[in-house]
Amino acid sequence: MSDHVILLSIPGLRQRDLAAMPRLSALTSGGDCTELAPTFPAVTCCVQANLTTGMPPSEHGVVANGFFWRETGEVEMWTSPASCIGRPQLWDLMKRHDPALTSAAWFPLHTKECGADYICLPAPIHNPDGTESMWCYTRPDGFYAELLEELGPFPLQHFWGPLANIKGTTWIVDSAIRAGVRWQPNLLYIYLPHLDYAAQKLGPDSAEATAAVAELDEQIGRLADGIHTAYGDAEPLWLVAGEYAITPVDHVSYPNRALAAAGLVQLQDTPAGRVIDYANSPAWALVDHQFSHVFVRERDAATIRKAAEVLRELPGIAEVVVPAEAPQYDLNHPRSGDLVAISEPSSWQAYYWWEDDADAPTFARTVDIHRKPGYDPAEMHFDPATRGISLDATLVRGSHGAPALDPSQRTVLLSSQRGVFVERETADIDVADIVLRQFGI
């Protein structure tokens, strides 16, 4: 067992990528290596909650990257606090076991106000004019001011959108090293997002995605050097978890268009244009990569059947399930939709409800992850003709989220020491137990 654990959460990391990652390979060459299977839905917030609670979405309640709050008729994407996670996380369990154990959560989502001693993550500021700006929420409060002075502001434009590149991950690495030097937490959980970008934008096997692997490896090497300096003789155990694998896609489905054509989506006029009236639509879909939660007004049984029929006929949809009747997917939770539509591995789902791009709301052509009713990977594609985000969803070449039924949809789990876990297929919900065992829990 080790007194200190560095847990890296890396979306898109595959075992075959290690051949092009000499620094990561050297870091973990003396340890264990096994296949990691993400629990459905295989998307960021769900998998990170799985990793940190050891529970599936039916238990912790993070059923997607965003939620529809039926009580208020509002959609909340990417900004929900840690209180939305309905089970204790690693930092909570560590404190219960021994109040002297410390932890740091570096950029995993749904961590604001969580029980970690030290936190750093991007957080939106909602301005009076309706726009948003960004800063970094840190615990302690003054730490971001120190990071600003040393590193400059967090480069949000390089964390997501058409300019997303290694600079966002570089800032995360630099700031995490400083946290290690300052506090030497017993657990340092770091999210390194870089492999997400090119693999979704241009495909997981594109030249750009291959280059991203090498870029990330360089940053992992810098992180390893910095952590070695920070911890000195107290050499930490490194655990590296690929959150999910990104697979090639050549098709996109539009659930809200299909539901609108069936008369189930109702629109309302707003300053941004005509948008979905979530509270009053008979049925609409909150899409998220390769699945969507479909919410039916008052959970009307006839409407549920009609929506299911519509979506089952939609090309690219593999199955449509009722969460309570699909225990294999562990999504039976009050926050889940009345239906869940799941894509084929080679397809994904876009949130668009309009047929003519002239009818798109103004935020559709912007990087606006909070106002869209679903995840929008087209935000990585810039359209020179409109000087905005492209509305051609077919440009997206990689996706994830569907059940990991094929080896190509699984990732890798690595350790820097031998005997930390058994080298057999492991689920993401097993990682929390591996971490806690290091602290005698």
Question: Is residue 54 classed as helix, strand or coil in its secondary structure?
Answer: coil
At 32-60, the pLDDT tens digits run 999 999 999 999 999 999 999 999 999 99
At 338-374, the pLDDT tens digits run 999 999 999 999 999 999 999 999 999 998 877 899 9
The pLDDT, as a whole number, for residue 124 is 62
Report the distance separating Cα 431 and Cα 54, nearest Å: 7
Report the distance separating Cα 287 and Cα 264, nearest Å: 16
The pLDDT, as a whole number, for residue 128 is 54
The mean pLDDT of the chain is: 94
Name every residue whose Cβ is closer than 8 Å to that of residue 34 and which is 6 or more positions away in sequence.
412, 413, 421, 422, 423, 424, 425, 426
The yes-or-no verdict on residue 182 having pLDDT over 70 is: yes
Domains of the chain in sequence order: 5-247+404-437 (3.40.720.10), 251-396 (3.30.1360.110)
At 74-114, the pLDDT tens digits run 898 876 666 789 999 999 999 999 999 999 999 987 777 78
At 122-159, the pLDDT tens digits run 876 555 555 555 578 899 999 999 999 999 989 888 98
Please say whether the beta carbons of 48 and 429 come within 8 A. Answer: no
Find, among 323, 333, 243, the residue nearest to 291 by Cα: 323
At 187-197, the pLDDT tens digits run 999 999 999 99
Please say whether the beta carbons of 96 and 70 come within 8 A. Answer: no
Q: For residue 357, how many C-alpha atoms fall within 13 Å in the half-sphere facing its CB?
A: 9
Report the distance separating Cα 49 and Cα 90, nearest Å: 10
Please say whether the beta carbons of 426 and 37 come within 8 A. Answer: yes
The pLDDT, as a whole number, for residue 102 is 98
Q: How far is CA 125 from the centre of its chain?
A: 21
Tokens at 278, concatenated: 């979530």
Q: What separation in angstroms does the CA of 62 have from each of 58, 125, 154, 169?
A: 8, 23, 26, 24
At 367-411, the pLDDT tens digits run 887 789 999 999 999 999 899 999 999 999 999 999 999 999 999
Paired sense of beta strands 426-427 and 33-37, if any? parallel
Higher pLDDT, 129 or 178: 178
The pLDDT, as a whole number, for residue 287 is 97
Q: How far is CA 79 from the centre of its chain?
A: 12
Only one residue has tokens 């969460």, namely: 323
At 53, which helix (H) or strand (E)? helix 44-53
At 22-37, the pLDDT tens digits run 999 999 999 999 999 9
Work out the angle at residue 288's Cα, subtended by the Cα atoms of residues 282 and 129, and round it to the nearest 5 degrees: 80
Q: For residue 388, how many C-alpha atoms fall within 13 Å in the half-sphere facing its CB?
A: 13
Q: What is the 3-state secondary structure (H, E, C) of 205-244?
A: CCHHHHHHHHHHHHHHHHHHHHHHHHHCCCCCEEEEEECC
